[in-house]
Chain A
């Protein structure tokens, strides 16, 4: 049900601008909505991060994934069990760029004979998640050509690498195909893996369908309708230079559908699980170094009024028994 509603919502986000542009509302979908979306995204994203960053990390609670630094002759694991900022930096680099923790993933099999519990490496989620995220990044970078004049060198390089196989005309970007593969795998997991289906909510289906919608409308524009790129750039440059205007040559309605979906993503982003993008940098189990036994970690709300049951009270209760047992006491009976 959740999947169906999510699908419908995304479909609506395609149909509405498509029809709306036909009825002469291009300015709404091409100019007003992008501005609204980007403002909501920037303000929302910043507010979420600030809100998290403002809440304290009272204790140093890293999940340690390797040998601690202790005796000099024992090899420690500085990236999985960091003691300093450098180690934490490396841990986060591996986490963010290589999905280190997901790389560890295993799956469990239970055989009744014996019985035997077996663990095998399970890297498919890691692989397809990595494919999806990197393709998304590449596509994002490629799109900068629409928002920059002149187009910076790295954007050109990204495009060149992405189309290096030179398939078809216009040349096919590999990332367009790969991101579809990645997204479809992530969706298929949610639908066909019983455990994952059980925990999946609408908030999980919706972004997947939304991204699929974005990719498919993009592919449609580029490879099927072959929209007027010069006109599109006229529109987008108008937006970034704060001189918004509709292009003189009209552009295909699919561009507006694509743009609306992207706007929906930007608006949805700060209120959703997609904030994991920012949240990972604030996750105490990953960004805390394992150093609280070496140096002081301060808890801003540590309550000095909480005191241990005192030795005096303890001795008062047991003094006679202690003396009888020959244990030293501070105050004689």
Chain B
């Protein structure tokens, strides 16, 4: 942690704006405010333009010789393809309602992180190129020419946007910066300006099925390892199906959950839940990633990576797909999947084999969120639960941006939480549900070199966590997103020390009483359960 300024330093944020116009104010690239560029071999593998070795701190970014023409051509084609882009370029009245809604602005104070100004970075070019009057009036009308510095600015700020859509909620016209950021990133790809932490996972997803590049045999090993842990804790051996044909359900979750702490405990939670139900479900190594790094790359990449889910469901002959806890995976499933790769007419509308509930919400995609599935089980009293096993946790719930503002999945996880643990407190209302704050690492920015900016962007979330920690003794922040499980622990260590992070299904896994299990003395993290501190194996 020594690399970053301490919270007392970081909090000295100046919200006053410079006297000079934003067009005359340049922001330098410095350690902690940008991510490293895409590596040439990754770009080549993905067939993307202008692979080269470069750094944002270089003066010369080695853009292709006719880069201006390339960018403007793409700009024009995107305006034709997306009404959102065109309308959002035209109708912003710059009322400023979005200005203090962005977590990067709140935690950093850089005015170019006000969503309205972030979009102006593109609008100024749009005006300069597509509006005759603005061309004549120039800067006075907010128009400017496309110069190399503009590309540098785009790179800096559109890779300082986590596409969380909080600004869109408050905009009187629903202008969505996530859409604008997606367009800007597509423009940047055309001239080879992108970041490795998005493209390498995208390449991995394509080849191995998951963003970490875990090969099938290694995936199986890791799964067995987690089953060993479950056996130690519960005395029950679970033998999950992998790549098995003819099961009723295919389960897909982000691969972050199989690999990293604390996601692995959520993964164990899923395994325990399925064992408890005797669910006819299979996992897949080919479609072993729910998270879609294509969402942060381009619509084509998103479609390509997403396509594996339906491919695999068809190949294995399942009836429907169940999806794990993940943020942007669900944004893609809810808003894009069926459009890109549907219709999934070879599948059936999900019906819970345990309760018989038919889930019409998923009638189109045939893919159900595990929070919907589990909430229904609890409501129908199909789970044998001992919530006291979670008594060491005093929990709050972090709404992940994408399920909250791209889907509206707010009550289901809360209902589960309230049934599997006995101590639950909400964070302040302006920081939860549809007004939830980003973890600071969404949209592919969860990388090491970007940590300082992430911590800044995490201030609003971290501060809300601190509030419930101080007031109610909260020590566990539960969430339904694998990126959250990776980004929130350092964030909490920094802004609200003493608060850990868990998935909702980790708490479910703790609470479930498996048939014939031994007396549990520890939770899934192998920490002693309440009152079991002195028990020996």
Give the number of chain A interface residues (Cβ < 8 Å): 103
Contacts of B334 in A (CB 8 A): 290, 292-293
Contacts of B179 in A (CB 8 A): 61, 285
When the two chains form their complex, are residues B339 and A59 in contact, meaning their CB atoms are under 8 A apart? yes
When the two chains form their complex, are residues B83 and A52 in contact, meaning their CB atoms are under 8 A apart? yes
When the two chains form their complex, are residues B207 and A309 in contact, meaning their CB atoms are under 8 A apart? yes
Partner of A55, one of B86, B206, B336, B379: B86
Q: List 9 A-B pairs, Cβ < 8 Å.
A: A55-B83, A67-B411, A70-B361, A102-B170, A199-B114, A204-B94, A283-B84, A294-B360, A310-B311
A202 at the interface (CB under 8 A from B): yes
When the two chains form their complex, are residues A307 and B307 in contact, meaning their CB atoms are under 8 A apart? yes
B15 at the interface (CB under 8 A from A): yes
When the two chains form their complex, are residues A290 and B99 in contact, meaning their CB atoms are under 8 A apart? no
When the two chains form their complex, are residues A117 and B463 in contact, meaning their CB atoms are under 8 A apart? yes
Q: Mark B202-240, 1 if CB is under 8 A from A, else 0.
A: 000011110000011100110000000000000000000
Q: A105-B170, A201-B141 are in contact. Are A66 and B242 (CB under 8 A)?
A: no
Contacts of B133 in A (CB 8 A): 271
CA–CA, A291 to B333, complex, Å?
12
When the two chains form their complex, are residues B216 and A115 in contact, meaning their CB atoms are under 8 A apart? no
Interface size class of chain B, counting residues whose CB lies under 8 Å from the partner chain: 35 or more
B340 at the interface (CB under 8 A from A): yes
CA–CA, A307 to B300, complex, Å?
9
When the two chains form their complex, are residues A327 and B242 in contact, meaning their CB atoms are under 8 A apart? yes
Chain A interface main SS type: loop
Q: A202-B141, A275-B90, A293-B362 are in contact. Are A285 and B174 (CB under 8 A)?
A: yes
- A123 to chain B minimum Cβ distance, whole angstroms, is 11
204-239 of chain A: CB within 8 A of chain B: 204
163-182 of chain B: CB within 8 A of chain A: 165, 168-176, 179
127-143 of chain A: CB within 8 A of chain B: 129
When the two chains form their complex, are residues B12 and A112 in contact, meaning their CB atoms are under 8 A apart? yes
- B242 to chain A minimum Cβ distance, whole angstroms, is 6
When the two chains form their complex, are residues B407 and A64 in contact, meaning their CB atoms are under 8 A apart? yes
63-109 of chain B: CB within 8 A of chain A: 79-84, 86-88, 90-97, 99-101, 106
- B518 to chain A minimum Cβ distance, whole angstroms, is 27
Contacts of A1 in B (CB 8 A): 140
CA–CA, A295 to B140, complex, Å?
47
Give A residues with C-beta under 8 Å from B: 1-2, 5, 48, 51-53, 55-61, 63-71, 73-77, 80-81, 95, 99, 101-102, 104-108, 110, 112, 114-117, 119, 125, 129, 189, 193-204, 271, 273, 275-276, 279-280, 282-286, 290-299, 301-303, 306-311, 314-315, 317-318, 321-322, 324-328, 330
When the two chains form their complex, are residues A110 and B11 in contact, meaning their CB atoms are under 8 A apart? yes
CA–CA, A106 to B406, complex, Å?
21
In the complex, the 9 A-B pairs of residues with the closest C-beta atoms, listed nearest first: A308-B307, A68-B408, A279-B91, A325-B217, A285-B174, A119-B430, A64-B408, A286-B174, A198-B17
Q: Most chain-A Cβ atoms within 10 A of its Cβ — which of B140, B165, B312, B408?
A: B408
When the two chains form their complex, are residues B94 and A199 in contact, meaning their CB atoms are under 8 A apart? yes
Q: Mark B326-363, 1 if CB is under 8 A from A, else 0.
A: 00000001111111101100000000000001011111
451-510 of chain B: CB within 8 A of chain A: 459-460, 463-464, 466-467
Contacts of A56 in B (CB 8 A): 81-83
When the two chains form their complex, are residues B142 and A71 in contact, meaning their CB atoms are under 8 A apart? no
When the two chains form their complex, are residues B343 and A60 in contact, meaning their CB atoms are under 8 A apart? no
Seed contacts A129-B95, A292-B336; 4 additional CB < 8 Å A-B pairs = A68-B361, A117-B459, A117-B460, A285-B174
Partner of B168, one of A52, A285, A324: A285
Contacts of A112 in B (CB 8 A): 11-12
When the two chains form their complex, are residues A327 and B408 in contact, meaning their CB atoms are under 8 A apart? no
Q: Mark B372-409, 1 if CB is under 8 A from A, else 0.
A: 10011001000000000000000000000000111111
B137 at the interface (CB under 8 A from A): yes
Contacts of B420 in A (CB 8 A): none
CA–CA, A120 to B44, complex, Å?
49
Contacts of A301 in B (CB 8 A): 81
- B124 to chain A minimum Cβ distance, whole angstroms, is 9
- A77 to chain B minimum Cβ distance, whole angstroms, is 7
Q: Most chain-B Cβ atoms within 10 A of its Cβ — which of A63, A311, A326?
A: A63
- B397 to chain A minimum Cβ distance, whole angstroms, is 14
When the two chains form their complex, are residues B86 and A293 in contact, meaning their CB atoms are under 8 A apart? no
Contacts of B83 in A (CB 8 A): 52-53, 55-57, 282, 284
CA–CA, A123 to B372, complex, Å?
35
CA–CA, A203 to B123, complex, Å?
13
CA–CA, A201 to B307, complex, Å?
44
418-468 of chain B: CB within 8 A of chain A: 428, 430-431, 433-435, 459-460, 463-464, 466-467
CA–CA, A132 to B105, complex, Å?
29
Q: Which residue of the partner chain A has the closest CB to B300?
A: A306
When the two chains form their complex, are residues A63 and B460 in contact, meaning their CB atoms are under 8 A apart? no
Contacts of A275 in B (CB 8 A): 90-91
Contacts of A283 in B (CB 8 A): 84, 87-88, 91, 173-175
CA–CA, A84 to B144, complex, Å?
42
Partner of A125, one of B95, B117, B362, B372: B95
CA–CA, A273 to B304, complex, Å?
37
Q: Most chain-B Cβ atoms within 10 A of its Cβ — which of A73, A108, A314, A327?
A: A314
